Structure 1
Amino acid sequence: MVLVESIPEHVKYKDNVTYGIPLGKAWKDLISMATKEVNIVSFYWTLTGDDINLNTSSDILGRDILKGLEELPSRNISVRALASIPTIKTNSTDLKVLKQKGAQVRNVNFGRLVGGVLHSKFWIVDRRHVFIGSANMDWRALTQVKELGVVVYNCSNLAKDLYKIFQSYWVMGRSNSSLPEPWPAKYDTTINSYYPLLVKNENVSSKIYLAGSPPSFCPSSRTLDLDAILSIISEARYYIHVAVMEYFPTTRFEKPKRYWPLIDDAIRTAAFNRKVKIKMLISCGLDSDPDMLPYLQSLASMDSPHEGVSIQIKLYILPVGNQTDIPFSRVNHNKYMVTDKVAYIGTSNWSGDYFLTTAGVGLVISQHAPHPVWKTKALQRQLGEVFDRDWHSEFAVNLADLGHQPDCALSRK
């Protein structure tokens, strides 16, 4: 189990901090390891700068990944690629090129099926290795956007379980598809929050399960992503550290919008009733929605040392510098949480639609190990160190100290 990260170009941390392995390396390794099949899900695909009429050396890694995937069918390795309808507007030819090279490609019309989008981002290689994280199949995810995910190698039980989710998307990618009610038994899982997968490796014992959304795509045996998040928050005893791009206690995309306080209430309850210490690192870039600010201020206003209530919120602001010509970049795209008990790595932002009508997955990991092993091998500890690195970095700004930040849309609210 390995933490994977993308740190954008021109972003430097102080020495002696924890990093995940580079996302580009992880993806290249998975391509080179493949012997039978590669199945990839992404909200959208855009691995070259040409897609946005941009000539940039920053897309070289994206081009390498695309070339690596293109070559797989000629080695008799099956490639299946999934993307969403509707999706963001680009002139991407990735899927067309992959199809020409022998890959199978489908677009799932989540808008027609459930009113949302396919927002999951994961790989399954040979039904043995998996990647789950925040990164879309986008060259910017490799060099211009801060991403976080996890690769689990040689775990066929987990890979086969994720494959069931992949298959549910794949069959719904047919033009005449309609949602089954209930899902056939072959989509059921034996791995969930009640019966996690038990794994032991290098003296680290892990309990793992996959959560999914939306409910209409999950058999009753699958733990829902929202339920996983709420249970993790409710079971934390000492601290909850959250890093997400977007946080709204509302829906965002349906009309009219609705108040949706489930996660917000759980955080407030943990802080007030159980005195769990909360730290939240929310992304702010040029494309962030300034309407997020009052909700964050409301949450932060509960912070009261006198009452023993601790809710600290910082905005993570990546410097844009001379990268102004690259749209939808220079942002912290992470979607994870780490507590004193659990590590959670997901694909969804924290607002209502992502758990009601949008496809996402979350990987929940709880680990135990002897102290020396824990310090060097536990992914849960590593994720905590990555959070601390970002929290104490020059890019994290206290909500109360926001002032004018040229690279953060919330500072203009």
Structure 2
Amino acid sequence: MFRHADRNAMWLAASLALALPTFAATPSGSAASAAPAPSRRVSLLETRPIETTLGNPEIPDALTTWLELIDGARRSIDLEHFYLSTWPGEPTDQVLAALGRAVARGVRVRLLLDGGMYRTYPRAADSLAAVTGFEVRLIDARRLLGGVQHAKFFVVDRSIVVVGSQNLDWRALKHIHEIGVQVRDLRMALDFSRLFELDWSVSRVPGTPPDTTLTTAAAARVSRTGAVPYRIVEAPGDTVLAWPSWSPRRFSPDSTLWDLDRLVALLDGARREVVAQVLSYGIEAHGTRDTTLDQAIRRAAARGVKVRLIASDWMMGSSSLPALKRLAQVPNVEVKLTTVSRWSGGYIPFARVEHAKFLVVDATTSWIGTSNWDPSYFFTSRNAAITLLDPRTARQLLKTFEISWSATGSQTLDPARTYPAKVRGEEPPPGATKYGG
């Protein structure tokens, strides 16, 4: 494993170092020129795992969208991610090359990663930090918050924000089902810039010891957001209402925009139907127990709202599965577990899974976020989301949901059944050949 990782790191450093001068000479009108703005200011992006029928082809591809936005950047790109994982010849090559082109034309590029996950994937981050023009820092979320920096977003020129389930990981752009959203709005982008600056203010450079004097009291220095929801006009008679939200409440640009509160409000306002898709679900994790979200789902079902929930097969064998089984027994609640077929090229660790995190209420309102649905993501970890009152977005997400709901790898959760744990780590199952890591 470590020999592969070292080879990967050397390849990354060499390719970036060699490529940066070339990027600087990219002619006008090539990939470095500003990408044409999409017809809509609010649009979804999706990773559809190869060799599957999952996902909605009407939604733009995540990798393509990322590259267009990075290549269109003029002044700054701020990225906040859980971790950075690369593999030679895979999609993060293209992302890092695009960031290299941005640096070469004078764009400030900053990357903020979780300090704990950095210890798992240090080499790619260290290689990137060694390249002139890249600023890489770590946030010690375990010490500051009690959890992890789990948000996945980036802000371009403080005018465009992308947030969603995609990690900065080659697998998340090719082998995992993911959903994100881009919003071209100065107010929304400013809110996420404030979130980034807050976390950047308590971060450190890789290789330096943690500064134990830094505390979450820094939140007091950050301005509050504007009046939400933001009205984003797409066309006459076509206006999207948008809300940012984040976790944890005690360390955010605006504590009134807590992600858990937003989800509960959406569920409490549901009248007919709720559909949701998450990697995992529970009422207790990592020492934090809370039933707020679980109770909101039960209240909706008790009002006669039809609730359908998809969770991934990574729930199988999990200590959280009993809570999901109990929820599945509530009248008006249906739960399915989904399995993504193995790739023909081999077994890929921590991949081939439904990792999207979204909610659609009454076919009009959507929540697209970075949180799985257990308490630790809302109380002790950094996460973020955007809620949209926009029937068009809701329809697209509903189609995505229905495709997963009816997929061959989807199965109704049986409360009486014992599910063996899914093999998903570095060690492949017997007889399988491992690819990547």
What's the TM-score, normalizing by structure 2?
Answer: 0.80
User: How far apart are residue 291 of structure 1 and its match?
Assistant: 2.5
User: Partners of 1:324 and 1:264 in 2: how far apart?
Assistant: 37
Q: Write the deviation string for residues 176-223 of structure 1: whole angstroms up to 9, x where unpaired.
A: 3523547335431114xxx31111103421111110111221245541
User: Partners of 2:316 and 2:151 in 1: how far apart?
Assistant: 20
Q: Does 1:245 align with 2:282?
A: no
SS in 2 for 1:184: helix
- Pick from 38, 45, 49: which aligns with 1:8? 49
Q: Write the deviation string for residues 64-104 of structure 1: whole angstroms up to 9, x where unpaired.
A: 11111123211101000000011161353245325413111
Counterpart position of 1:235: 269
Question: Is the 8 Å Cα contact of residues 242 and 281 (structure 1) preserved in structure 2?
Answer: yes
Question: Is the 8 Å Cα contact of residues 243 and 337 (structure 1) preserved in structure 2?
Answer: yes
Counterpart position of 2:313: 284
Counterpart position of 1:148: 179
User: How far apart are residue 315 of structure 1 and its match?
Assistant: 0.8
Q: Which runs of 4+ in 1 moved over 6 A?
A: 401-407
- Pick from 275, 292, 302: which aligns with 2:304? 275
User: How far apart are residue 111 of structure 1 and its match?
Assistant: 1.1
Question: Is the 8 Å Cα contact of residues 249 and 255 (structure 2) preserved in structure 1?
Answer: no
Q: Write the deviation string for residues 249-306 of structure 1: whole angstroms up to 9, x where unpaired.
A: 11x223xxx532111111011101x111100011114x85532332222111112xxx
Q: Does 1:266 align with 2:266?
A: no
User: How far apart are residue 117 of structure 1 and its match?
Assistant: 0.8
Q: Write the deviation string for residues 357-394 of structure 1: whole angstroms up to 9, x where unpaired.
A: 10000101112xxxxxx5xxx21221122112221222
Question: Is the 8 Å Cα contact of residues 63 and 173 (structure 2) preserved in structure 1?
Answer: yes
Q: Does 1:35 align with 2:74?
A: yes
Q: Does 1:319 align with 2:355?
A: no
Counterpart position of 2:138: 107
User: Partners of 1:237 and 1:385 in 2: how far apart?
Assistant: 20
Question: Is the 8 Å Cα contact of residues 189 and 221 (structure 1) preserved in structure 2?
Answer: no
User: Partners of 1:401 and 1:111 in 2: how far apart?
Assistant: 34
Which amino acid in the other structure matches residue 32 of structure 1? D
From the superposition, tell whether residues 404 and 269 of structure 1 become closer, same or farther in structure 2 (CA, over 3 Å): closer
Which amino acid in the other structure matches residue 328 of structure 1? F
Query: Number of aligned pairs?
Result: 374
Counterpart position of 2:224: 188
RMSD across aligned positions (CA): 2.4
User: Partners of 1:119 and 1:328 in 2: how far apart?
Assistant: 16
From the superposition, tell whether residues 95 and 149 of structure 1 become closer, same or farther in structure 2 (CA, over 3 Å): farther
User: Partners of 2:418 and 2:328 in 1: how far apart?
Assistant: 19
From the superposition, tell whether residues 25 and 405 of structure 1 become closer, same or farther in structure 2 (CA, over 3 Å): farther
Question: Is the 8 Å Cα contact of residues 315 and 396 (structure 1) preserved in structure 2?
Answer: yes
Question: Is the 8 Å Cα contact of residues 71 and 101 (structure 2) preserved in structure 1?
Answer: no
User: Partners of 1:37 and 1:71 in 2: how far apart?
Assistant: 12
SS in 2 for 1:264: helix
User: How far apart are residue 355 of structure 1 and its match?
Assistant: 0.6
Counterpart position of 1:170: 200
After superposing the two structures, state which structure 1 stretch, 98-107 or 155-164, moved more.
Answer: 98-107
SS in 2 for 1:131: strand
User: How far apart are residue 323 of structure 1 and its match?
Assistant: 5.0
Q: Does 1:158 align with 2:188?
A: yes
Which amino acid in the other structure matches residue 276 of structure 2? V
User: How far apart are residue 351 of structure 1 and its match?
Assistant: 0.6
User: Partners of 1:346 and 1:118 in 2: how far apart?
Assistant: 14
Structure 2, gaps ≥5 residues long: 1-41, 205-209, 425-437
Q: Does 1:76 align with 2:106?
A: yes
- Pick from 364, 376, 397: which aligns with 2:411? 397
Question: Is the 8 Å Cα contact of residues 281 and 320 (structure 2) preserved in structure 1?
Answer: yes
- Pick from 380, 396, 400: which aligns with 1:382? 396
Question: Is the 8 Å Cα contact of residues 79 and 103 (structure 1) preserved in structure 2?
Answer: yes
Question: Is the 8 Å Cα contact of residues 79 and 155 (structure 2) preserved in structure 1?
Answer: yes
User: Partners of 2:342 and 2:418 in 1: how far apart?
Assistant: 15
Counterpart position of 1:306: none
Question: Is the 8 Å Cα contact of residues 114 and 149 (structure 2) preserved in structure 1?
Answer: yes
Counterpart position of 1:131: 162
From the superposition, tell whether residues 300 and 405 of structure 1 become closer, same or farther in structure 2 (CA, over 3 Å): closer
From the superposition, tell whether residues 87 and 182 of structure 1 become closer, same or farther in structure 2 (CA, over 3 Å): closer
Q: Write the deviation string for residues 114-165 of structure 1: whole angstroms up to 9, x where unpaired.
A: 2111000001001111110001100000111111101123x11111111111
SS in 1 for 2:240: strand
Which amino acid in the other structure matches residue 162 of structure 1? F
- Pick from 360, 380, 389: which aligns with 1:338? 360
From the superposition, tell whether residues 127 and 402 of structure 1 become closer, same or farther in structure 2 (CA, over 3 Å): farther
What's the TM-score, normalizing by structure 1?
Answer: 0.84
User: Partners of 2:223 and 2:317 in 1: how far apart?
Assistant: 37
Question: Is the 8 Å Cα contact of residues 5 and 19 (structure 1) preserved in structure 2?
Answer: no
User: How far apart are residue 241 of structure 1 and its match?
Assistant: 0.5
